[in-house]
Amino acid sequence: MLDLSIQIISIISFVGGVFFILTGSIGLIRLPDVFSRIHAAGMIDTAGASFIILGMILQSGFSLITAKLVFIGIFIFFTSPITGHVTANLARKKGVIPIGKTKGKTL
Amino acid sequence: MINSKSIALFLFLLGFWLLMSGHYTVLITSLGVISCLLCVYLTIKGNFLDNETIPIYFFPRLIQYTIWLIKEIFISNITTAKVILSKSEEPELFSVKATQKTNEGKVTYANSITLTPGTVTTQIKDNVFEVHALTKEFGDDVRGSEMDRMVTWLEKGK
């Protein structure tokens, strides 16, 4: 019974991860400019990756692999904002003008 | 040379080494301990061991902050998915002031903004952050500065 419920929760989190990755990919193509597309990529990095890793943790059972998967998740959480920030920063420095409103004084 | 920072770094490295290894014989574990000691020695020799490497004063409140951040990330993920699927994006660019005093606090705040989908820090100058938001609601979230207060609270420690 416990086995079955763990399997069901694992499958639900896999489906959630697939949903977020698919939505993020749609956003990556559909959104208008580079700054907006970073938001979609950030969604794949956070929700997509962590739901998939959660599903894998439930599948693996409690062992050393669980700890390794948790560390993969932590490293993704530490590195993904860096890539997002570097992309946005470089686009700003190269003079890409963002679509939409600009409020107040910007740097 | 031996202070709380070097001990914390050694314990982190050793714990990570033990997790990645999976073999716990005397020979292999002692090799791991020696390599961790060597790493800590080189870090001290190279003068890397400061508050930026091991922000030790973050630790007491780190777990509570992480739980809060994961909750925020989950909520804004759902909102971003809604925005993407309903084609209701109206991007905006604005500046906010950060109230953190240390560099580590500012980095944590900027990374937390970027980690939350829907908002990205594009540039930082002193304590002014330039933020790009996917919709007006995300922009209001950042301007409401709840996250700013949380990071300042985390930075104070204890």
Per cent of chain A over pLDDT 70 is 100
pLDDT tens-place string over residues B68-122: 999 999 999 999 999 999 988 889 999 999 998 888 899 999 999 999 988 999 9
Please give, rounded to a whole number of angstroms, the shortest distance from the CA of A4 to a CA of chain B: 26
Q: Chains A, B: CB contacts under 8 A, how many?
A: 121
Query: For residue A28, what pLDDT band results from cuts at 50, 70 and 90?
Result: very high
Report the 10 Å Cβ neighbour count for B45: 10
What's the sign of the alpha-carbon dihedral A71, A73, A74, A75?
positive
Q: Is the pLDDT of residue A98 over 90?
A: no
Is residue B67 scored above 70 in pLDDT?
yes
Distances (CA, A) of B3 to A73, B8, B33, B54: 30, 9, 18, 12
* Bridge partners, B121 (sequence order): B131
| Confidence band of B32 (pLDDT split at 50, 70, 90) | very high
Report residue B147 as tokens: 């996250």
Check pLDDT > 90 for residue B10: yes
User: Does the distance separating the beta carbons of A42 and B89 come in below 8 Å?
Assistant: no
Question: Are the Cβ atoms of A43 and B122 closer than 8 angstroms?
Answer: no
CB B80 within 8 A of CB A39: yes
**CB-CB: which of A64, A77, A84 is closest to B120?**
A84
**pLDDT score at B29:** 93
Are B78 and B129 in contact, with CB atoms under 8 Å apart?
no
**Terminal Cα-to-Cα distance of chain B (whole angstroms):** 24
Answer yes or no: is pLDDT of B1 > 80.
no
Give the model's confidence band at B55: pLDDT under 50 very low, under 70 low, under 90 confident, else very high: confident
* Pick from A47, A77, A106: CB nearest B95: A106
Q: What is the pTM of this model?
A: 0.87
Mutation test of the interface with chain B: which of A39, A51, A60, choosing the one with the most B Cβ atoms within 10 A?
A39
Among B133, B146, B69, residue whose Cα is nearest residue B95: B133
**Amino acid A64: pLDDT:** 86
Query: By the CB < 8 Å criterion, does A75 face chain B?
Result: no
Q: What whole-number percentage of chain A has pLDDT above 90?
A: 62
Mean pLDDT of chain B: 90
Specify the residue for token string 């400061």: B50
B97 and B128 Cβ atoms separated by less than 8 Å = yes
Task: Indicate whether this complex's ipTM tops 0.85.
Answer: yes
Which among B19, B77, B120 has the least Cβ separation from residue A38? B120
Among residues B107, B94, B100, which one has the least CA distance to residue B148?
B100
Chain centroid offset of residue B8 CA:
17
Phi/psi of residue B120, nearest 5 degrees = -135, 135
pLDDT at A11 over 80: yes
Q: Flag whether pLDDT at B34 surpasses 90.
A: yes
- CA distance, residue A62 to nearest chain B CA (Å): 13
Segments making up each domain of chain A, as ranges: 2-93
Tokens encoding B20: 């990645």
Query: How far, in Å, are A75, B53, B79 from residue B75 at the CA level?
Result: 21, 30, 6
Q: Does A102 touch chain B (CB under 8 A)?
A: yes
Q: Are B52 and B106 in contact (CB under 8 A)?
A: no
| pLDDT above 80 for A99 | yes
Q: From B109, which residue of chain A is nearest by alpha-carbon distance?
A: A81
Q: Which residues of B touch A43 (CB under 8 A)?
A: 77, 80-81, 84, 117
CB contact under 8 A, B84 and A85: no
Cα nearest neighbour of B74 on chain A:
A47
**Long-range CB contacts (within 8 A, 24+) of B144-149:** B145/B96, B145/B99, B147/B72, B147/B109, B147/B112, B147/B113, B147/B116, B148/B96, B148/B98, B148/B99, B148/B100, B148/B109, B149/B99
* A69 has a pLDDT exceeding 80: yes
Eight-class DSSP state of B97: E
Residue of A nearest to B126 (CA): A107
Contact residues, chain A, for B132 at CB < 8 Å:
35, 38, 88, 98
Q: Categorize the per-residue pLDDT at B47 as very low, low, confident or very high, splitting at 50, 70 and 90.
A: confident
